[in-house]
């Protein structure tokens, strides 16, 4: 088949066209079809980007570049594999899930799905992620796809983390306590970063909350409150 050329219109739209633009990456752990991947390193010998499962509670894995695993791949020990597995978007149906069931009945078409603390998976479908506890590690709020069919067993999701989770900031949510609340687990890279805050308090605070990032810990100073606070770290 050497020398055979194909026109783009000979590639089936929506399936092989997307696969034709797949990125060859070095896969560092086992993945299954539909898992969300994130760039985590670079292999000098092969010249390939290394990928792990994206995870909402690990700082280095909660920020893009993001892709979707086009198929399952098993990694044993350190026998990492180079593969054209990373694609920008993918439609996931129930028959492609290991369980054969995809329950999206609690959501409407167009609702977002969010990245989970469990590597590569979705946490919530059509429901905004809950706040973390005061003093606990962060959990990033990352929309990575949309529901395109609402059904109890045969739901359909379109994953598109390459575009939906593309952001210059990292957003999370924490339940306030007392007059000072901390969130841990960040990298020292964002020490001193600008931070936007918004509380769920039903009435305005007399004094607006403030925040500082230092030594990988976010500290929010606020009025005495037990409301939730959403924060976005810019940078």
Q: What is the pLDDT of residues 185-195, one digit of tens each?
A: 999 999 999 99
Q: What is the mean pLDDT of residues 138-155?
A: 93
pLDDT at 20: 72
pLDDT at 117: 81
| pLDDT confidence tier of residue 1, bands split at 50, 70 and 90 | very low
| pLDDT confidence tier of residue 91, bands split at 50, 70 and 90 | very high
pLDDT at 112: 94
Per cent of the chain over pLDDT 70 is 89
pLDDT at 12: 53
Q: What is the pLDDT of residues 33-85, one digit of tens each?
A: 999 999 999 999 999 999 999 999 999 899 889 999 999 999 999 999 999 99
Per cent of the chain over pLDDT 90 is 71
Which tokens belong to 181? 């609340």
| Domain range annotation of the chain | 8-164, 169-234
pLDDT of residue 165 exceeding 80, the answer is no
The residues that bridge with 93 in the sheet, in sequence order, are 156
Which tokens belong to 225? 């409150």
Which tokens belong to 191? 């020490």
pLDDT at 122: 77
* pTM: predicted TM-score of the whole model, two decimal places: 0.85
CB < 8 Å & 24+ apart, contacts of 69-75: 69/31, 69/32, 69/33, 69/34, 69/35, 69/36, 69/37, 69/120, 70/19, 70/22, 70/33, 71/33, 72/30, 72/31, 72/32, 72/33, 73/27, 73/30, 73/31, 74/30, 75/27, 75/28, 75/29, 75/30
């Amino acid at each position: 088949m050497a020398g055979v050329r194909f026109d783009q219109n000979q590639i089936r739209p929506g399936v092989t066209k997307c696969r034709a633009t797949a990125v060859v990456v070095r896969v560092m752990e086992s993945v299954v079809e539909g898992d969300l991947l994130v760039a985590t390193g670079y292999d000098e010998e092969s010249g390939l980007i290394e990928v792990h499962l994206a995870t909402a509670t690990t700082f280095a894995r909660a920020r893009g570049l993001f892709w979707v695993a086009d198929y399952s791949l098993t990694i044993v020990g350190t026998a990492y594999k180079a593969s054209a597995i990373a694609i920008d978007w993918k439609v996931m149906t129930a028959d492609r899930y290991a369980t054969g069931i995809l329950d999206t009945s609690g959501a409407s078409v167009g609702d977002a799905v969010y990245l989970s603390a469990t590597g590569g998976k979705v946490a919530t479908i059509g429901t905004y992620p809950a706040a973390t506890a005061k003093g606990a590690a962060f959990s990033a709020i990352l929309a990575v796809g949309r529901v395109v069919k609402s059904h109890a067993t045969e739901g359909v999701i379109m994953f598109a983390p390459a575009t939906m989770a593309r952001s210059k900031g990292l957003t999370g949510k924490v339940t306030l306590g007392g007059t000072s609340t901390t969130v841990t687990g960040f990298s020292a890279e964002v020490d001193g970063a600008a931070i936007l805050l918004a509380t769920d308090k039903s009435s305005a605070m007399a004094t607006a909350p403030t925040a500082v990032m230092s030594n990988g810990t976010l500290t929010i100073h606020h009025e005495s409150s037990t409301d939730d606070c959403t924060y976005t770290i810019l940078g």
